[in-house]
Amino acid sequence: MTCFKILNIQEMILPSENAFCAVFDGKNIILFKDDDSYRLPEMKELCLVEPVEMLRVGELGNNDCYAFEMELEKVPDACRSIDFRQALKLLSNQDIAASNRARQMLYWNNEHTFCGHCGKTTELSTVDTAKICPSCKARFYPRIMPAVIILITKGDQLLLAHNFKFSDGLYSLIAGFVEAGESLEEAVAREIYEEIHIKVKNIKYFDSQSWPFPQSLMLGFTAEHASGEIKVDGVEIADAKWFNAADLPLIPSPDSISRRLIDSFIDLHQ
């Protein structure tokens, strides 16, 4: 099976025509449409006529994988410009891994064009994935923002919430970023109490998922209701309810860790 291998960002060579490319045009990614499936395009399929700045982010199988951004006036033949969030539902696991890293590395590269200490222009490190200031020698590594997402249960029910940012009718799990100075378990308890005003017990780790919007690491947990009645904060959460496995509202797509957590509950209560 073809797999994606992460490489240090500074390992840059001229791309071959068979190199794979994660090309971003604003919020969209360019994908090659092969019959009814989608994949990252190869360099030869993009028909580039002008040079662009590229980052070598890894290997897909035996071929290099590059990331770059450009505004396309015309999408190449056999390719499609697709919203990145939607594209994650269409790609194979290895292409998801490659495009995920590509998006995050491009964001990091753009965010650290200049040194945050002295303001000088930074350069790519020659030994590891870092941006270096040639003046004050400060180093800037890719920043990962940990966030927790929690399946909360009460007997044969699970708690789902509607965030103000969600599309109409969509319900998902309580989630939030980890604050400086707290453990993951403390973040779980705090986010739940802040957003829906209940307390939980038996907090257990479930799984994780890299989430490039823009640089998150989603850490999934399960927890059981301990005390309190649901009271939404009215700031992030518009509604929250207990649901049975057989009577669920619209829930997230299968490509997300939130859906995997929900599916794990459904499998136990069908």
Residue in this structure with the two tokens 């994650």, named with its chain if needed: 88
Alpha-carbon distance 46 to 22, whole Å? 11
Q: Residues 155, 264: one domain?
A: yes
Are 153 and 255 within one domain?
Answer: yes
Which residues sit opposite 55 in a β-bridge? Answer: 67
CATH assignment at residue 222? 3.90.79.10
Rg (Cα) of the chain, in Å, rounded?
Answer: 21
Question: Residue 192: helix, strand or coil by DSSP?
Answer: helix
Chain mean position to CA 237: 21
pLDDT tens for the chain, residues 1 to 270: 456 666 676 555 567 889 999 999 999 999 999 888 999 999 888 877 777 888 989 898 888 999 999 887 788 888 999 999 999 999 999 999 999 999 999 999 999 999 999 999 999 998 889 999 999 999 999 999 999 999 999 999 999 999 999 999 999 999 999 999 999 999 999 999 999 999 999 999 999 999 998 899 999 999 999 999 999 999 999 999 999 999 999 999 888 999 999 999 999 987
Looking at the structure, do residues 103 and 151 belong to the same domain, yes or no? no
Is 177:145 a contact under the CB 8 Å cutoff?
yes
Residue 103 and residue 11 share a domain: yes
CB of 101 within 8 A of CB of 63? no
Angstrom CA distances, 69 to 25, 152, 186, 225, 265, stand at 6, 40, 38, 45, 40
Question: What is this structure's pTM?
Answer: 0.87
Do 31 and 103 have their domain in common? yes
DSSP 38-74: EEPPBHHHH---S----EEEEEETTEEEEEEE---SS
DSSP-derived letter for residue 114 is B
Our count of domains for the chain comes to 2
Q: Report the CATH number that the domain containing residue 94 is assigned in CATH.
A: 3.90.79
Q: What is the spatial distance between Cα 161 and Cα 172, in angstroms, rounded to a whole number? A: 5
Q: Which domain holds residue 28?
A: 4-111
Same domain flag for 89 and 188: no
Three-class secondary structure of residue 188 per DSSP:
helix
